[in-house]
Every structure is written in C-alpha cells, then in structure tokens.
Homo-oligomer: A and B are copies of this chain.
C-alpha cells in the first residue's frame, strides 16, 4: 500500500491519467483501515485446522511430549492468534505467544513446566516468529547469539521453534519437537476459506469498478456489518495514504492477562472469516490450478 500510495501520488503530480486503487491482501492481516485482509481467513483456517490435527497426534501417546509450533507474523500476531480457534474447538494449544506482548524466556519455561505438570508431561506451545523481549530484541536472535557465543562464533542453525524446543529439552530433559508451519500456512490453497475467496473476489471487482468510474488514490477496505445479528462484509474506499505504513496489531485487550491466550473477542472476530470451503477443482485427486495462457489475438 505504501508503493501504491507513491505510484498514485507520482501519477497525479505528473498529470498522467491513470487511476490507482489499492486492493488489500496479506495473510498477516496487519493493514490499517480495514476490518481484515483477503488471505487472512484462509491462512487462519489452515493454522486452526492443522493445530487441531497436531493436537490429536501429539496427545494420543501415553508418554508426555512437548511441541513448539512456530507461526508466521513478524510484528503482528494475527496468524498465531488463529491457534485460539483450535482451542475454541477443544483441540488447540496450551500456550499462545504473540509479538504484541514482550516475551520472557524465563516465564515461557515456567509456563511450559506448569502445563506439563498438569497434563501428564504434555504441552503444545504456539509462538509468533516475531516474539521479542522487553527491549525489542527478537527471541530467535538472542537465543542464536547466546549459543553462538558458546560455540566460538559459529551461528546456530534453526528457526525459533527449534531453538525453543532445544531450550526446553536442555532445561527439563523432556522430548520436544519444534514444528514450523513454514510456507505451507500461506500457500495451503486446498484449505482456503470460502468466505475469504468470495471477499477477495469482491475486493478486486470493487477496485476495478472504482478505477473505471474515475476514482484514484484509494484503497478498498472491508467493513464488518453486524446490524442484522449476522456477519456481513461491506466494501468501501478510503484514502490509500491512510493504509500506507501503519501496522494494525492484535488489540492488547484481546490477549488474556497472563499473555498466553486470546479472549472470546478474538474468536468472535475471526470465526466468520474461516467459514466455507474452497470449491477448487481436483484432477487425478490433486489440485487443478488455474493458469493464464497466452492467446493470439487476430487482427481484423
């Protein structure tokens, strides 16, 4: 949206008749001025569904084990928050940590210990890749550099989940698995939300209609309409400048006081966004993706 804003301002200044309408899209859901972003509902559905399945897998054994799951989100914890949707269905994470709350490694270790003690040694903890300590230092960096020092300057491999899993293992001597949802959480189209697909389509249409009607320097936004008692999405335009360079984070009042969970407000916000399924066609039991083909246009 920042680029959109710059291109739009330049074209206006240059007096070049080209209309610019920003269409939001990011699984990070961190754009200012819109209730939510196309892409978020689908990625949230992937996170919640996968976590429910992991929960059943991890808890089927008699023996205790710990899993640390790393979810995308550098500055805003929206996607990691989707773990709470799995909790809502009774098969979620015991602990959820977002970048909105400063992360303490000591508190994390004691949180994990408390859950293990109460659950026969079992614990699932979800962490945003962007969790930071009270000084704003990324946890993945502070853990890596602490170990790098031990290792005479060699950088330690592995992302946050593996670093935290290793830390728990070294502290409590228990079996821990570090799991990263990696690129799968942003490309898992087979698990897309029907609502998300529909709204994304509508956002694109609204943008084209606005541009064709002579509007420029705007962004399409979603407004939540609950006036009928049911979720409804309205499409509006705002100045693209408003959305550029402002990140929307998870409201602190939606995070439980102990910093390890989400309140019902988040569930109420997110649940409508993951409804419905992708109706994408299959071929040979596998996805059949649309592709744009070059078509020869004959001159008349």
Contact = CB atoms under 8 A, between A and B. Distances in A.
B57 A187 contact: yes
Contact-size category for A: 35 or more
Contacts of A286: 45, 48-49, 52, 85-86, 89, 274
Contacts of A191: 190
Contacts of A52: 286-287, 289
A271 B285 CA distance: 8
A77 to B, nearest CB: 20
Nearest to A194: B285
B151 A53 contact: no
**From A45, A152, A284, residue with most partner B Cβ within 10 Å:** A284
Interface stretch (A104-112, A178-186, A252-260): A178-186
Given A158-B162, A184-B184, 20 more contacts: A48-B286, A49-B190, A49-B287, A50-B184, A52-B287, A52-B289, A53-B187, A53-B188, A53-B189, A54-B184, A54-B187, A57-B183, A147-B154, A156-B157, A157-B157, A157-B158, A177-B183, A179-B183, A179-B184, A277-B282
6 closest A-B pairs (Cβ-Cβ)? Answer: A57-B187, A53-B187, A158-B158, A274-B285, A151-B151, A157-B158
Interface of A: 45, 48-50, 52-54, 56-58, 67, 85-86, 88-89, 91, 147, 150-152, 154, 156-158, 162-163, 166, 177, 179-180, 182-184, 186-191, 193, 271, 274-277, 282-287, 289
